[in-house]
Amino acid sequence: MMDPSSVPIPPGTFRIAKTFAFEAGHRLPGLPVEHKCSRQHGHSYEVQVELTVSAVGLEAPGFVTDFGALAPFKRFLDSELDHHNLHEVLSFEPTSELLAQFLAGWFILNVQPGIPGRLAAVRVRETESSWARFEVAAP
Active site residues: 37, 83, 126
Helix (H, G, I), strand (E, B) or coil at 9: coil
Residue 94 buriedness (CB in 10 A; 0-12 / 13-18 / 19+): buried
Q: How far apart are CA 13 and CA 103, in angstroms?
A: 23
- Euclidean distance between the first and the last CA atom of the chain, given in angstroms as a whole number: 44
Q: Are 20 and 47 in contact (CB under 8 A)?
A: yes
Beta-ladder partners of 14: 53
Q: How far apart are CA 111 and CA 4, in angstroms?
A: 36
